[in-house]
Amino acid sequence: MFSRWSSRRSLVVLTLACIGAALLLVGSYALENHGQSSTIKQVACLPVEAAFFLGERIHVLCVDPQKALFLEPYRYFSLSTQGSEVDLIFGLLQKALETKQGIKINYDDNAAANPAGCLARDCRKITGIVLSPSPLR
């Protein structure tokens, strides 16, 4: 009887801990974005420059793969170097640059989410990158 109660209690504690962690993540995201809602969008990009600013951010400068002109209104896409995924993202950007391969960038359209140094007028936060062998459309 005691072990059954103990395992139920452990399950309840674990469930509450997971709910608490989820609420903290949602709360910190809302604070980071100053209560503004975010919209994730995707854009086709031919990378022409990738930069790594130590302790701050990485960014990629994009041109439209169809027109060979800088993307508008956002030509830079950036990610804080504080995240664990930054090395993976930068590696994908390097590969795209080396092979002159287009990519698709998922980004947060809310400027309040931008990393430090990513200007509201021409830059947005990267939320994902798609690198595939098929041509961009």
Alpha-carbon distance of 78 to 68, in angstroms, equals 20
Alpha-carbon distance of 118 to 111, in angstroms, equals 9
Of the candidates 129, 116, 44, the one whose C-alpha atom is nearest the C-alpha of residue 80 is 116
Q: What is the mean pLDDT of residues 8-12?
A: 49
Alpha-carbon distance of 112 to 133, in angstroms, equals 33
Entry pTM: 0.70
Alpha-carbon distance of 62 to 11, in angstroms, equals 48
pLDDT in tens, 25-83: 333 344 444 455 679 999 999 999 999 999 999 999 999 988 888 989 999 999 999 98
Vertex 128: Cα angle to 66 and 105 (nearest 5): 10
